[in-house]
Chain A
Amino acid sequence: MSIDAISGIGTSSMLGAFGVGSTSTTSAVAGTSGVQALGSSFGASLTSSVDQLQAVQSNAKALAVEAVTGDLDDIHDYTIAAAEASTTLELTAALRNKAVEAFSEIMRMQA
């Protein structure tokens, strides 16, 4: 299962919008640096989440190959890896959806 498209999200584009946008418009407000830090830490957590997703998915994929080639010793090794992969995917998707939701909310703001 290739998820190269997902990893593109985690890197910079959207998070740049969070961090940089806040600093330029509200530079006078105290706590701006906090927003910047929040943006980058959220980016870091999303990126690490995507990395973890890729790790568990490649693990599940390797076990699936073992299963079809007859090299799999324990059935539950694969089913557990698949359960972990799907849960991690849901977690990453939830993170991403929340981020997009927040971003859209900001974009809807009117003066």
Chain B
Amino acid sequence: MGTFDAIGIAGSGMTVYQTWINAISDNLANVNTVRSTSEEAFRARYVVASSVEYGTPAGTQVSSIELGDAEGRLVYEPDNPLADTEGYVRYPDIDMTSQMTHLIMAQRGYQANAAVVDRAKETYQAALQIGRS
């Protein structure tokens, strides 16, 4: 569009960060999803972002969603109804600590882009104030 490039670029960043937050939300929701050893574990979602070639519109985009390890980790829980004959079940290999730190990064990134939108709007409005009064 031209006039609102800064706002559009920040908006594309917000879309990527929101996708990231959604993926982390999915990972955290399934952090204790137990499967039997005959199935593959819940695979963590990883958002792959890529920059849009400079031009119109610039910014960033979600290029793909990668899936984590299907192996998971085997946990000895003989009382679990899903346990195999040796007493093992399959948990997803998701580290909650790293997911939480990623969540903070995603949240701050989203907020940073929202701040850019606000500042860009303020800047344009400052231009509109020229010659008024």
A: residues with CB less than 8 A from B are 52, 74, 76-77, 79-80, 83-84, 87-88, 90-91, 94, 98
Q: Does the CB pair A83–B131 fall under 8 Å?
A: no
Question: How far is A80 from B59 in the complex, measured between Cα atoms in Å?
Answer: 15
Q: Does the CB pair A94–B14 fall under 8 Å?
A: no
Question: How far is A91 from B123 in the complex, measured between Cα atoms in Å?
Answer: 13
**Known A-B contacts A83-B121, A90-B125; A74 and B131 likewise in contact (beta carbons under 8 Å):** no
B15 to chain A: which residues have CB within 8 Å? 74, 76-77
Q: Does the CB pair B11–A90 fall under 8 Å?
A: no
Q: Is B18 an interface residue (CB 8 A)?
A: yes
Q: Does the CB pair B124–A76 fall under 8 Å?
A: no
Please classify the interface of chain B as helix (H, G, I), strand (E, B), loop, or mixed, using the class held by over half of its residues: helix
Category for how many chain B residues contact A = 10 to 19
B128 to chain A: which residues have CB within 8 Å? 87, 90-91, 94
A87: contacting residue among B8, B11, B121, CB under 8 A: B121
Q: Does the CB pair A80–B117 fall under 8 Å?
A: yes
Q: Does the CB pair A76–B125 fall under 8 Å?
A: no
Question: How far is A71 from B82 in the complex, measured between Cα atoms in Å?
Answer: 38
Q: Does the CB pair A83–B18 fall under 8 Å?
A: no
Q: Is B31 an interface residue (CB 8 A)?
A: no
Q: Does the CB pair A84–B14 fall under 8 Å?
A: no
**Known A-B contacts A76-B11, A77-B11, A80-B7; A87 and B18 likewise in contact (beta carbons under 8 Å):** no
B8 to chain A: which residues have CB within 8 Å? 80
Question: How far is A13 from B46 in the complex, measured between Cα atoms in Å?
Answer: 59
Q: Per-residue 0/1 for B93-133: is the Cβ within 8 Å of any A Cβ (1 yes, 0 no)?
A: 00000000000000000000010010001001100100110
